[in-house]
Structure 1
Amino acid sequence: MISVLKNFIISASCILFCFACGHKNANTQQKETTISNTYTNPLLPIGARPWATFYKDKYYYLQDVDDRITIWQTDDITDIKNVVSKDVWVPEEKSNSSHLWGPELHRIDNKWYIYFAADDGNTDNHQIYVVENSSENPLEGEFVLKGRIATDKDNNWAIHASVFNHNNEWYMIWSGWQTRRIEAETQCIYIAKMENPWTLATERVAISKPEYEWERQWISPDGSKTGYPIYVNEDPQFFYSKDKSKVLIYYSASGTWTPYYAVGLLKADVNSNLLDPSSWIKSEKPVFTQNEDNQVFATGSPCFIPSPDGTETYFLYQARAIDKEPYGSLPSRSMDTRSPRLQKMEWGPDGIPILGEALSEIEKITKPSGTK
C-alpha cells in the first residue's frame, strides 16, 4: 500500500511539473510573440537616404553605399539588419565611380531600373545615371548601365532622381543647381517628362527653390558650417493624397549636416499641368522635422511603402541621434551618423498624410500589419 501511494505521489508530481513547464513555456512564447511584433529605430546603425519598394510580397531596400549599388531583400522591412544584402552593380567608368547617392529601384515596362547620382571623385561633378535589369527578381540577372540622363543643356549638377507615372505619362523629379556655384550653392527641385526610362522628353522646370528660412539653414548651432553657403531643396518623392485629387511631392530642405534638415511638401491638383510652376503650392512650414525631446535630429528623405497586407502606409526616413555631425562639414561615409528609421503614416481630414513626430530610439513600435 505504501509503495502504491508512493508511486501515485511521484506520478502526480510529474504531471504537475509537466503542466507547470508547459504553462511557463506558453507564457514565454506569448511574451516572445509580443516582443517580436515590435521594433525600434533605427533599422540599421548607419544608412543615408533609405529607400524601398514593395513587389510581390517582398521589400527591396537601398541606401547610399558610395562606390556601388546594393539591394536588401526581405519580407519584414523592420528586420533588414538580419538580411543578407547583394551588390547588384559596381561602376566601371571613372565618371560614375564615386559618391553614388540616392539609389532608387523602379519597375517600368516589366524591367527594373535603378536611378542614382554619381561623380568622378569631385562632388561638384554629380550627374544622374540609370541601370537596367530585365529579370523578374532584381537580385537575379544583371544590371546594365543605360547611361547618364542629361537634365539640361549645360549639364548642371544633378542628384536624387525619382520617377513616377501620372495619367499614363512618366515624370522624373530631382535636385539640381540652377547654375554652377560661384559664391553660394542653391539646390532646386526640378521636374520633366520622360521619353523613356533613360531620356527626358522636355526641358527641366523648377518647381521649388529654398526660399523660407527653414529651407536655408547651413550653419549648425555650435557655429560649424560648410566652406560656403549651401541652400538645399533635395530628395523629392512622389505620393498621392488619399482621394487621389492631389499630386504630392515631399522633399528635404536645409543642410543634412545640421539638425535643421526637415521635410517640406509641394501640392498640385491632379488634373493640373505638372510642368507649370504655378500649379504647385509649397507648405510654408516643414511637415516633418527634428524632435529634440526624443533626441532625433536632421530628419529627411522620406519614402512611402505599404504594409505587407496593404492596409497601412509607412514611411522610411533618415535621421541622427546627435544634433550635429562631429566634424561640422559635409558627411563622409566613414563618419556618417545618419541612420534609417520607419514610422506609420496617418491620413489627415483633408486626405493629406500626417507624418507626426519623430519617435525616439527606445520606443517600441508595432510592426506593419501583415508582417510575418
Structure 2
Amino acid sequence: MVNISNPIVLQRADPFIYKEKGNYIFTGSHPKYDRIILRISDTINGLYDAKEHVIWEKHDKGGQSHLIWAPEIHKIKGKWYIYYAAAPNEKIEDDTFNHRMYVLENNSDDPLSDNWVDKGQIDTGWDSFALDATIFCLNDTLYYVWAQQDFEIPGHSNIYISKMKNPWTLEGEITMLTYPEYDWEKQGFLVNEGPAVLIKENYIYLTYSASATGIEYCVGLLYADITSDLLDSSSWSKVSQPIFKSSNVNAQYGPGHNSFTVSEDDNQDIIVYHARNYQTIEGDPLYDPNRHARAQVIEWDNIGMPILGEPVPDERWTPNSPRILEDDSDD
C-alpha cells in the first residue's frame, strides 16, 4: 500500500492533482486568493517540498480581480486547461460572493510554460454565483460539472452538469444533479459545491462538499451507471449520509473539496482533500489559511462503493497560528 505523509501541501485548500507521464501536477487555492499556482513532483509526498510556480495572477479590476478560488488543471486533446472561479473587487449591494467561472488554455506540452491564454468566462446561460468547475470525458463526450445558485431554490449553490462543445463552451441541456436537502448539507450555509468525478469499472462517482467551511464541512456522494444518460437526473443515486466528515479521534476537521488521483503504480485510488487540525477558528473560516492539502487511499466494498473511513491524522509539521507562510514561488 502506498505510504502517504500528511499534509501533502501546507495551506493550500481545494486541492487538485492531475497525474501525467508519472508526474503529479498539483494546484489549489492560495490563502491570499490572488493567484493560480502549480507544483510538480514524481511522488505525492514530494509535492510538500516541490517548487511552487505562479502561472497566473488576478487582474487589477473586473470579474477576475478578487477571491481566486479552486483552480483545476486538465489536459484535453493535447492542450492544458485551468478552470477557476473569480469575483470582481468592487463591492456589491448585499455583500455576498459574486463569483463566476473562467478558463485558461495552454497549447505547450509544459504546463509551466508562459503560454497561458485567457479563454474567458464559462457561460451557463444564467447569471448568478457560480464556482468549482470540473470536467471529465466519458464515451468521447466532454462534460462540465459545477456549482451555481438558483434564486428559486433555497440555498447558496447546487450541482449541475452539461455537455461541452469545446473546453470553454457548454452545449445543450443543463441538469441539476443535487441541491442541499439533508440536515448535514445545511450546517451554517445551504451548500452543495466542489464536485469531483471518479470513473471506475461500471460506475461514475461524483463527490461534492456540503455546509459551511468550518468543522461542518463534509463530503457527499452521487453515483450512476456509465451506460446511463448522465443528463437525466434519475440516472443518479444520492447517498443520504456524508461519506467523509470531521474526525475527533484523528483531529481532522472540515474535510472536503476533494479531487481524485492514483498511486504511483496506478493500482490504488486516492482521495485528495483539505482539512484543518483544530476546531476553533478566529473570524471568518474563509480567511484562516490552515486548510492543508491531504491525501489517503480509498477502499472499496464488495458492491463497488467507495469507503473513505475517517480523515487520517497528520504526520508532518503544521503551523499552529493563522499566519500565511512565506511564499516559495516563481513570480
The structure carrying a bigger strand percent of its residues is 2
CA RMSD of the aligned region, Å? 1.9
User: What does the per-residue CA deviation read over 1:58-91, in whole Å, with 9 as the maximum and x for residues that have no partner?
Assistant: 1100010211111001112212221111111223
**Correspondence for 1:171 among 129, 136, 143:** 143
**What number of residue pairs does the alignment pair up?**
308
In the TM superposition, what are the counterparts of 1:245-260 in structure 2 within 5 Å? Answer: 245-257=202-214, 259-260=215-216
Distance 1:179 1:330 in 2: 25
- In the TM superposition, residue 127 of structure 1 has moved relative to its aligned partner by 0.3
One-letter code of the match for 1:63? Answer: G
Distance 2:231 2:197 in 1: 14
Aligned equivalent of 2:22: 57
User: What does the per-residue CA deviation read over 1:155-178, in whole Å, with 9 as the maximum and x for residues that have no partner?
Assistant: 111100000001110010011101
Identity among equivalent pairs (%):
35
Distance 1:344 1:326 in 2: 32
**Correspondence for 2:87 among 113, 119, 140:** 119
Aligned equivalent of 1:343: 296
Q: TM-score, normalised by structure 2?
A: 0.88
The structure carrying a bigger helix percent of its residues is 1
Distance 2:149 2:307 in 1: 30
One-letter code of the match for 2:118? Answer: L
Does 2:67 correspond to 1:99? yes
Aligned equivalent of 1:323: 279
- In the TM superposition, residue 297 of structure 1 has moved relative to its aligned partner by 0.7
- In the TM superposition, residue 302 of structure 1 has moved relative to its aligned partner by 1.8
Kept in 2, the 8 Å contact 1:157–1:180? The answer is no
Kept in 2, the 8 Å contact 1:301–1:318? The answer is yes
Aligned equivalent of 1:15: none
Aligned equivalent of 1:69: 36
One-letter code of the match for 2:304? Answer: G
Provide structure 2 residue ranges, at least 5 long, that are not aligned to the other structure: 317-331
In the TM superposition, what are the counterparts of 1:1-372 in structure 2 within 5 Å? Answer: 39-65=4-30, 66-92=33-59, 94-121=62-89, 124-152=97-125, 154-179=126-151, 185-218=155-188, 230-241=189-200, 244-257=201-214, 259-327=215-283, 329-332=284-287, 335-362=288-315
Aligned equivalent of 1:10: none
Kept in 1, the 8 Å contact 2:155–2:180? The answer is no
- In the TM superposition, residue 204 of structure 1 has moved relative to its aligned partner by 2.3
Distance 1:150 1:358 in 2: 36
Structure 1 segments of 4 or more deviating over 4 A? none
Kept in 2, the 8 Å contact 1:325–1:337? The answer is no
Distance 1:306 1:268 in 2: 21
Kept in 2, the 8 Å contact 1:249–1:265? The answer is yes
Kept in 2, the 8 Å contact 1:325–1:336? The answer is no
One-letter code of the match for 2:80? Answer: W
Provide structure 1 residue ranges, at least 5 long, that are not aligned to the other structure: 1-36, 219-229, 364-372
One-letter code of the match for 2:312? Answer: L
One-letter code of the match for 1:85? Answer: E
User: What does the per-residue CA deviation read over 1:180-231, in whole Å, with 9 as the maximum and x for residues that have no partner?
Assistant: 89xx63310011110100000024211100101111111xxxxxxxxxxx20
Q: Which moved more, 1:350-359 or 1:97-106?
A: 350-359
Q: For residue 298 of structure 2, give the secondary structure of its aligned residue in structure 1.
A: strand
Structure ranking higher on relative contact order (CA contacts 8 Å, 6+ apart): 2
Distance 1:270 1:133 in 2: 30
- In the TM superposition, residue 39 of structure 1 has moved relative to its aligned partner by 4.9
Aligned equivalent of 2:329: none
Distance 1:324 1:285 in 2: 25
Distance 1:158 1:205 in 2: 15
Kept in 1, the 8 Å contact 2:7–2:315? The answer is no
Decide whether aligned partners of structure 1 residues 78 and 284 sit closer, same or farther in structure 2, where only a CA change above 3 A counts: same
- In the TM superposition, residue 107 of structure 1 has moved relative to its aligned partner by 0.5
One-letter code of the match for 1:80? Answer: L
Distance 1:179 1:358 in 2: 34
Q: For residue 46 of structure 2, give the secondary structure of its aligned residue in structure 1.
A: helix
- Please tell me whether Structure 1 or Structure 2 has the larger radius of gyration of its CA atoms: 1
One-letter code of the match for 1:101? Answer: W
Decide whether aligned partners of structure 1 residues 292 and 317 sit closer, same or farther in structure 2, where only a CA change above 3 A counts: same
Q: TM-score, normalised by structure 1?
A: 0.79
